[in-house]
């Protein structure tokens, strides 16, 4: 394990008012989104769409790297250039998806540890510099159970240790889902408990915190909760929770969007920096973004499978990236959406 190389990579991914583009949707998920947009669900359509994303002019101003899927990391542009060579930094999703957790109906465990060492070595040879593993934890009556939290925390830590062994920076993603009618306070309590257990396991597995990135959910009320808190309340709750549980040694925090609208994700990220990212209150780690749908959706809808819409779709992606880069400076405002 090359410690300084890992640390330098982790720092570069969260530096300079830049975030990560999450384009690691599995083929079934990508096909579902294509179907919703009335786009043909073919290998070539997925390749063409992903080429549109990675070749967007100017994207490197706001995006430090992109998380890819197994199919995507093997794909090339039309002129034969591998996507990993087009990107500033390429990452790879390596969990095999959330499956039913035995003995705990309704709860999930992310699988994929078997053979992971060999897969990571292959991805590193292909040019990947970081990886991602997502665990999902639902809030409900009696959920998440201690067993669900523990097995997912353990899997995240084992994955992270294997990544660092392969000289790949691990992005650790314990996502507390937005689905449900739970309050913001319930989300805060669950999120803090989950992160406590994750960092306990990371320490047990010997993971170097300076060479990893945390990808958490924001602290939010459930989608069907009667009380939807303001942008400032969400920002305050999120940052305060992270300050309680995330060690200062962590290289950075890159929020997932988790189904938030593009504009709301940007506004909440902006509020965190407007209130907490500037003196006199300074977070010990960079707070940035690793958004999927909140970055991609406008571009996907405009493209709609028609290459004549390519430039307009790329402009929509760049616009969203610039909005989030502005949020990292506390400069995002609603007027940017109509400029």
317: Cα within 13 Å, side-chain hemisphere: 33
Question: What CA–CA distance (Å, rounded) separates 184 from 229?
Answer: 8
What's the 3-state SS for 163-183? HHHCCCEEEEEEEECCCCCCC
Residues paired with 290 in a beta bridge? 20
- Of 173, 175, 192, 229, which is the active-site residue? 173
CB distance 151 to 101 below 8 Å: yes
CB distance 231 to 181 below 8 Å: no
Task: For 138-172, give one letter per residue: b (16+ CB within 10 A) or e.
Answer: bbeeebbeeebbebbbbbbbbbbbbbbebbbbbbb
Helices (H), 18-114: 27-36, 43-54, 70-73, 83-86
Task: For 77-95, give one letter per residue: b (16+ CB within 10 A) or e.
Answer: beeeeebbebbebbbbbbb
DSSP string, 220-287: ---TT-S----HHHHHHHHHHHHHHHS-TTS-EEEE--TT--HHHHHHHHHHHHHHTSSTTS--SS-E
Based on the residue annotation, tell me whether 215 is a catalytic residue of this protein.
yes
User: Which residues are part of the catalytic machinery?
Assistant: 173, 215
């Amino acid at each position: 394990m090359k410690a300084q190389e890992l640390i330098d990579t982790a720092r570069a991914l969260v530096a300079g008012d830049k975030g990560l583009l999450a384009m690691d949707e599995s083929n079934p998920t990508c096909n579902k989104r294509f179907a919703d947009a009335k786009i043909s669900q073919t290998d070539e359509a997925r390749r063409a769409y992903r080429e549109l994303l990675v070749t967007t002019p100017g994207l490197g101003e706001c995006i430090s790297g992109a998380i890819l899927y197994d199919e995507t990391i093997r794909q090339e542009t039309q002129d034969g250039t591998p996507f990993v060579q087009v990107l500033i930094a390429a990452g790879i999703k390596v969990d095999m998806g959330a499956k039913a957790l035995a003995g705990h109906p309704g709860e999930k465990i992310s699988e994929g540890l078997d053979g992971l060492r060999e897969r990571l070595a292959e991805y590193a040879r292909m040019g990947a510099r970081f990886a991602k593993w997502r665990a999902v934890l639902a809030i409900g009556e009696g959920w998440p159970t201690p067993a669900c939290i523990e097995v997912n925390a353990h899997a995240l830590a084992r994955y992270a240790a294997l990544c660092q062994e392969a000289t790949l920076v691990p992005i650790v993603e314990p996502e507390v889902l937005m689905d449900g009618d739970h309050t913001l306070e319930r989300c805060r309590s669950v999120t803090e408990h989950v992160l406590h257990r994750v960092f306990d396991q990371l320490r047990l597995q010997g993971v170097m915190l300076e060479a990893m990135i945390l990808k958490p959910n924001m602290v939010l009320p459930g989608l069907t909760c009667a009380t939807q808190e303001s942008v400032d309340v969400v920002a305050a709750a999120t940052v305060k929770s992270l300050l309680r549980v995330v060690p200062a040694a962590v290289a950075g925090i890159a929020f997932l969007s988790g189904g938030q609208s593009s504009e709301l994700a940007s506004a909440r990220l902006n509020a965190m920096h407007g209130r907490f990212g500037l003196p006199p209150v300074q977070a010990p780690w960079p707070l940035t973004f690793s958004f999927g749908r909140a970055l991609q959706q406008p571009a996907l809808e405009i493209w709609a499978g028609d290459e004549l819409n390519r430039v307009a779709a790329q402009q929509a992606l760049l616009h969203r990236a610039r909005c989030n880069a502005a949020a990292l400076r506390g400069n995002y405002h609603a007027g940017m959406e109509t400029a």
